[in-house]
Structure 1
Amino acid sequence: MKFQNISCVLVLSLLSCKTANNTLSKSDTSISKNVYSSETVLLNKVQQQTLKYFWDFAEPKSMMGRERYHEDNIYPDNDKNVVTTGGSGFGLMTILVGVDRHFIPRDEAVKKLNQIADFLAKADRYKGAWSHWINGETGKTVPFGKKDDGGDLVETAFLAQGLLCIREYFKNGNAEEKLLAQKCDVLWKGIQWNWYTKGGEKTLYWHWSPNYNWEMNFPLQGYNECLITYILAASSPTYPIDAETYYKGWSRNGDIKSTKTKYNLPLFVKNNGAEEFGGPLFWTQYSYLGLDPRGLSDKNVKNYFTLNQNQVLIDYKYCIENPKNYKGYGKNYWGLTASYSRNSDGSTGYNAHMPSNDLGVISPTAALSSFPYTPKESMDFLKFIYTEKPQFIGEAGPFDATSINNDDWFTPRYLAIDQGTISPMIENYRTGLLWKLFMNAPEIRQGLKKLDFHSTQYNF
């Protein structure tokens, strides 16, 4: 999701078999506490459940991730076939985790991934970039807004991050797997990143539309969730940007740096529209499903892992401090990020939750997708919701938004871009799978080197 007011804008080991109708085994969401005494079982559980969003609940023709999935079957404007570009990128990585952990058969996954690649090749593109929303039946753009009816470079970057991981995972496989890898390679190389500099300006722009040209006018300037866009643009072997565009555009000639602290933790960067506490926690996740922040640095940030860890810890400490005295907040129940929300009239809306916009709504993806940065704190949250709040868990894992403060309110709904970060980030904590795939792509190494990045984990 993009938020224009902030940033230019989820007894037993788990079943890994499938039923005869090609769906994952039905999840038991009301098992007694002693089942979850093993942290490994619990991690497996949430990873397998969140996979269902992109496996069982995928849009059936495209196999892409739906923008949203509602267990209550209430859909606004009848949009069950609207798929999302960025959330589907996260879904590609979620499916990889499912393959690697044998939750789903490898050959079935390859078949579905080939279907996705074929759909993307025929879907509407704008100088190689896809739109934010696409009709999963037709491949035609579904406008995200009146003028947002063309290419969305940030959503495309989230998708490309997944395409590269798919390519790297399957490139040395059997004939069908190699074909999948080749398709992903062609899709990636077709993205015209440098077009989105609006005629050569030293910055990237979020949108371009053949109908409205550059009227959306959102330059990508840090710091927010968009770092991966610049990394991919610099790494492109076909339509690259230069290092100057990164440092003048994203880093704002060094003005991205901040000396502010909160709870004695340095923020390091100026968070767009969220200077005191940092932004919603998806800023520590979306760019880092593939990009490994451990020991990663550039001219302005000494360690991206510490940057992200501090933002998560600030969010965590804020929830413990709980200045608004919301019921339930504490070390077992924390995490503010963009998600569904509870409106003042009790209806379900949408909001970018963060310490400076705290509405008493805790989004499970916030803490669960923070496992690499705060494993103990995230595990405390995971144990709590599965043992103490089973009503917060649905077929595809924890629901998108919850509120103990509002009489254990929850929305029986999911969003792809929230559910899609949970399993990949947990897997990066457990094995580093997606980090290794992405960071070992030759183009990414060259791109990071071009931007004068350094890493203690990888040589480039």
Structure 2
Amino acid sequence: MSGRNWRRPAAWAWVALLVVGLAAGLALGGADGARGTREDLPVSISGGQSLTNEALLDSLQRTAFNYFWYQVNPVNGLIRDRSQAGSPCSIAAQGFGITAITIGIEHGWVTKEVGRARIKLGMQTLWNGTQGSAAAGVNGYKGLFYHFLDINSGNRTWTCELSTIDTALLMAGVLDAKQYFNTMDPLDVEIRALADSLYNRVDWDYMRNGGAGIRMGWKPETGFNTFGNWIGYNEAMILYVLALGSPTHPVPTTTWTYWTSGYSWRTYYSQSYVYFPPLFGHQYSHCWIDFRGIPDTYMAARGIDYFENSRRATYAARSYCIANPGAFVGYGENLWGLTASDDPFGYAAHGAPPAQSDNGTISPTAAASSIPFAPEIVLPALHHMYDTWGAGLWGKYGFRDAFNPTLFWWGQDWLGIDQGPIIIMIENYLNGSVWERYMQNPQVVQGLKRAGFQNVSAAPQPTPGPLSGIELHQNAPNPFHGSTTISFAVPQAGPVTLKLYDLRGRLVRHVEAEAEAGDLQQITLDGRGLPSGAYAYSLESGGRKEWKRCIIVK
């Protein structure tokens, strides 16, 4: 990771209103296919004006989506590691980006057709690239991928390692694409086949090198010589689950026992949990896997699950910043969150408790990506960062990667591996949709069962077929001022009714229309004259009804 010079906060003024950016982006949207906000129009609200929880979370998700949509080589679909023109592709960012784009489709920020094409392009590039043991001219070996790929050629760059954890994060997104594109549409079928091909090609067992655990990496120049095993609690939990669930190259069940043998159960600030100081280790695996109510043997013996473990780690991280043993500027109940990020001296895995590389650097993704675990402390922290520090911290992709008030340093970059957890974990907090579909994947379920997780079961997956219910998409733009468009499909032709309700349950808009069967259609909802705030809308057809929420901003 490249170093950073100290920088003063940017002097630019906040744009007038969120709605201005949305309206301008809608008018200026181009061939990239994204709706609403153009890349160079930050989604934000004028300084001094508080956002609702809904508006802040929507802005964070939308700007994170924009990162993955625009920080890409449109020719091959590879996503940049960070927001620099010369940045290579990070295969972990690619995995996060796949899921981010599916969320963008659900929110109406891009159509299913355009979003699916972008995801497919990146997956095809990875599948069609050359694999082999050579040091150059390849993108991976044994089905795994190098940590960083040249953004143009798609081949190994920076003499980096064949990375097991980054391959796992990529495959997490690949399997999510398989779950999301689940109809008999030929293009959905193609995505699922491509996902199976990529995942089934990975030789996880090779990366044990005959040992008890999975090695962190391999290089053609030195082999496994400089790489240890993944052991003890950290971000690699999802690596072991996917490796255990592989239908082609699974690792033995003893690898999970080996992995947990390195756990350390500690108590900090009245919180007892398996510790790992940087918060990303408590978040990455949870982006896709819903660990609520499914403890493994280790956690069952302690009466909790991994979700609760992450909740306790989140509270301990906040308590550390309240105690502020390093006397850093700003640390407190609403300014906390240490994780791996840029800092004034380069890049480091900041964490606490106990203090690890803590130099006063706060990374917004640390708090934001903990929102499913502890929204009651995360939301105030996000509002505080936005309201108090936003002038130097907020930009076109939302919160910048990190800032250090003690050293008066504001990072200027955004990183894919930090943006991804923001959009995904907010989505899981709002509706659990990523968790819900991911936990239906047979390979994920198999991996969890082989690891000894309890209460794991997947509902029988229906055979993909014709549309059987209402398919209701998120309105776009959202938030909106004036009018917004709602896309939908219904299984039978006939009348449809769209109703908009305020938070007191009062019907404030009523639209009748005729719909064709199966095809994606649109209704325009007129919000003029309605006050700012959160609303709910329903679409009813043939005795069926679906709901979504929206936000109006004046």
> Is the pair's TM-score, using the shorter chain for normalization, greater than 0.5?
yes
Letter in 2 for 1:378: V
1:395 and 2:406 are equivalent in the alignment:
no
1:50 and 2:59 are equivalent in the alignment:
no
Structure 2 counterpart of 1:143: 158
Q: Which runs of 5+ in 2 are unaligned?
A: 2-16, 130-138, 461-554
Kept in 2: contact 1:309–1:374 (CA 8 A): yes
Q: 1:108 & 1:35 partners in 2: Cα distance?
A: 35
Q: Secondary structure at the residue paired with 2:145?
A: coil
Kept in 2: contact 1:66–1:83 (CA 8 A): yes
1:20 and 2:22 are equivalent in the alignment:
no
Q: Secondary structure at the residue paired with 2:166?
A: helix
CA drift of 1:169 comes to 0.4
Kept in 2: contact 1:53–1:65 (CA 8 A): no
CA drift of 1:231 comes to 0.2
CA drift of 1:142 comes to 1.0
Q: Secondary structure at the residue paired with 1:301?
A: helix
Structure 1 counterpart of 2:424: 424
Cα shift readout 1:53-98 (whole Å, capped 9, x = no counterpart): 110121333222201114xx6xxxxx33x10011211111111111
Structure 2 counterpart of 1:445: 445
Letter in 2 for 1:411: G
Q: Residue 114 of structure 2: which of 101, 108, 115 is its match? A: 108
Q: 1:284 & 1:263 partners in 2: Cα distance?
A: 17
Normalised by the size of structure 2, how large is the TM-score? 0.72
Alignment of 1:106-185 (within 5 A): 106-123=112-129, 124-143=139-158, 145=160, 148=161, 151-185=162-196
Alignment of 1:46-445 (within 5 A): 46-70=60-84, 79-80=86-87, 82-123=88-129, 124-143=139-158, 145=160, 148=161, 151-199=162-210, 201-248=211-258, 250-252=259-261, 255-258=262-265, 260-267=266-273, 269=274, 271=275, 278-302=276-300, 303-343=305-345, 349-355=346-352, 356=355, 357-390=357-390, 391-407=392-408, 409-445=409-445
Q: 1:296 to 1:35 in 2, by over 3 A?
A: farther
CA drift of 1:136 comes to 2.1
Note the aligned Cα RMSD (angstroms).
2.1
Range that drifts further, 54-63 or 433-442:
54-63
Greater RCO (CA < 8 Å, at least 6 residues apart): 1
**More strand as a share of residues:** 2
Structure 2 counterpart of 1:274: none
Letter in 2 for 1:52: N
Kept in 2: contact 1:92–1:166 (CA 8 A): yes
Letter in 2 for 1:429: Y
Kept in 1: contact 2:343–2:404 (CA 8 A): no
Range that drifts further, 170-179 or 427-436:
170-179
**More helix as a share of residues:** 1
Q: 2:297 & 2:61 partners in 1: Cα distance?
A: 36
Q: How many residues align?
A: 420
Kept in 2: contact 1:168–1:441 (CA 8 A): yes
Letter in 1 for 2:338: L
Kept in 1: contact 2:393–2:410 (CA 8 A): yes
Q: Secondary structure at the residue paired with 1:300?
A: helix
Larger Rg: 2
CA drift of 1:367 comes to 0.4
Q: 1:326 & 1:34 partners in 2: Cα distance?
A: 25
Kept in 1: contact 2:371–2:426 (CA 8 A): yes
Q: 2:387 & 2:343 partners in 1: Cα distance?
A: 23
1:32 and 2:32 are equivalent in the alignment:
no
Kept in 2: contact 1:233–1:240 (CA 8 A): yes
Normalised by the size of structure 1, how large is the TM-score? 0.86
Q: Secondary structure at the residue paired with 1:350?
A: strand
Q: 1:34 & 1:338 partners in 2: Cα distance?
A: 30
Q: 1:388 to 1:424 in 2, by over 3 A?
A: same
Q: 2:267 & 2:150 partners in 1: Cα distance?
A: 44
